[in-house]
Structure 1
């Protein structure tokens, strides 16, 4: 096995048999040369104990064009690394790609299957229990079922049922739980009902709805400064895309999907503008990017695509699989903490990605003494004096204060995780809080 190089790629010649040349620099990546002369790339991996293969696409560099070959090699290594990261998270990227390629009957698209299910549900014919009771559900039950199941339509409407994975379901429910545990538990119940109907109708082989649920009491979880240190180190070790994505969640205080679906088009200089279509309150939100946040973004290796997603493993959609990544990082945090404390029984209380947002808010208020209304502006909360008529404030009203707040927060995190004090000439928060 040898490390592939730009020069070596241009030297491989077709033979009478198909050649798969492994890349020593990235185990699992192969350069494929067909007897016809066609060249392509593939990734091999194991899932559930079985060997799997995923084709990345054809090779297009010309003869002796080492510059193009080098760029292609870099791109393919990045794509392969992202695929292998997904494999480590328990996904089967090749199978998911094949499922998406298949052209299902229109009735097996999520939005169409949901429409059929809801129609039968309203008639009292969607489940065995309904049929046995032989009566239609109450109007309120019909409306509630429709509301919860259709809440997934924005994300999945054009997806074949077979392409919706456990990880995708868990990510959606986890995100919902961060804002409303009660709503997430209800949505889980109705989604489970829908997919069981789909299984019974042979529209999908198995239900992807596996979720443990969440306690319905309000959460007040805030990461301690020690936990922030362990979190940061675990994210660094975890790598892209989730390690970088999670760091940015902490540094900006924004919501999970807002960060996950970030695109390069939304960033201009040191400002990130989240369009109204992507914010919870449907208001455009401008987030100043601190030096620390820009450094994280600068380290993210991009996959070129029309979509322009920054945190992606495919280029076509933003990265999913948050639940597994969160679990892996949380596990590593415990390992780091136990080593530091010399206590093999030490545990860290369960945390969610939304707790990073709460941690920003709490530490910004308590440690940095940033005024609450500035923290609210950073978080894009519209409440109290900033709601109603006052809520129509100019989007740039608090921009200088938000910039100072996030710059201070970025320095605070950098000093915490590097144990180095950074010089600054920025005014204290009280001076820019009015």
Structure 2
């Protein structure tokens, strides 16, 4: 006999669960605790299976019968309704769990575990935040090229052409990771190549002739503004010409002042390998004086605003602006080009030794080992020679 709502309401729990049939394999399971659960028994590929349609009254009698009919229609087409229900459940979970923002966060964490520099990760997260604002909550499969382009165009409209280009690249990286982990089928940013205004290629501004660089050195040593960290960092940029992030994020534990060695950890170098630099006597003295001024802080160049954070690259560039050097004249990164140009111009040093000091050595393992072993003594002499050149620039100003 088919069920009715009246009869269902009258069903009472017993000491054991029992079934009340509605026909077509569907029945209501009344549990000992009083729950009333819709079930449907069917056979597929010779095996007996059991579908669940929910509980009464949340799933009404009419809705349960609709679901029974849907299941019978699938069976008529040779489709297992249980397998279909599980696939639909997985698809719904994927839509809710595999959002762009969650996959992007996974990617950033993966890169962190692979040893990418924290500054690189921060820049990547800054870009991803722009994407997350617009479509971070969407399932990644629902993020279309049109949605991505709208976000890129907002950045481009501000005149930030390079940022728009990097944002497209970063979004593409998220999609390629999603494809690799079977949560997306394609990278839609590929279709957007050529859609953005190409930024003009500009190199880091640097003084690359002796006279101009000498003027910068004299300005840096005569600068009385900023914090002790900023003043020392600029002097050491001139002396050591590392990448700005390698210097300003330095910790005291990396320095062996007694043996005049600075070991930059692989996590902070562009090439992701440890880089050991010889320290000229002038650099050792600057570092010793700075430590006396800044005290026991574990950072070599603590910010004057937040002592647990380092100075920023912008802090050094702003100091150069206050000295009168415009962005197209010299930047903190420009000290590398200045040193490279003048060291090569001197004709005193092996080009490979200069490249090794700049941490430009290629990826070949044998060549890297050779550079470290063969050029160390030359690099030590070169470091002292370069420091002496800077002292000459300073002494020239007194004449």
Question: Normalized against structure 1, the TM-score is what?
Answer: 0.45
Question: Normalized against structure 2, the TM-score is what?
Answer: 0.49
